[in-house]
Amino acid sequence: MELIYSKKLEFNDALECKNKELNLEYYLVASEAEDSYTYGIQVNMTKDTGESETAAIKNVSPSKDSVIELIKLLYSNSVTPVSVHDVIYDCIA
């Protein structure tokens, strides 16, 4: 597993009248299958409360470069673990 991008998001929670933070990490995950590799993505989100969520999608593509480009797209749009499956499906379908 290789960390490709990470970011911290800060936003104002109007209901609680305070600022909150989310930390997002986007990983490239390699899986060996017989004589080749396939690549997937893992997204980790940690809230300022200490709660965390993780989503992993294996075997997205045998092309490392195309998966890194997909991770770049996820990072650019601050995709969280909740929606990463749908976004990847929309991109590769």
DSSP 6-65: EEEEEEEETTTTEEEEEEEEEEEEEEEETTEEEEEEEEEEEETTS-EEEEEEEEEES-HH
Predicted local distance difference test score (pLDDT) of residue 14? 60
Tokens of 86: 């749908």
* Calculated CA dihedral for residues 74, 79, 82, 83, nearest 10 degrees: -70
CB 41 within 8 A of CB 26: yes
Predicted local distance difference test score (pLDDT) of residue 91? 85
- Predicted confidence pLDDT, tens digits, the chain (93 residues): 899 999 998 877 666 667 788 999 999 999 987 888 999 999 999 998 889 999 999 999 999 999 999 999 999 999 999 999 999 988 887
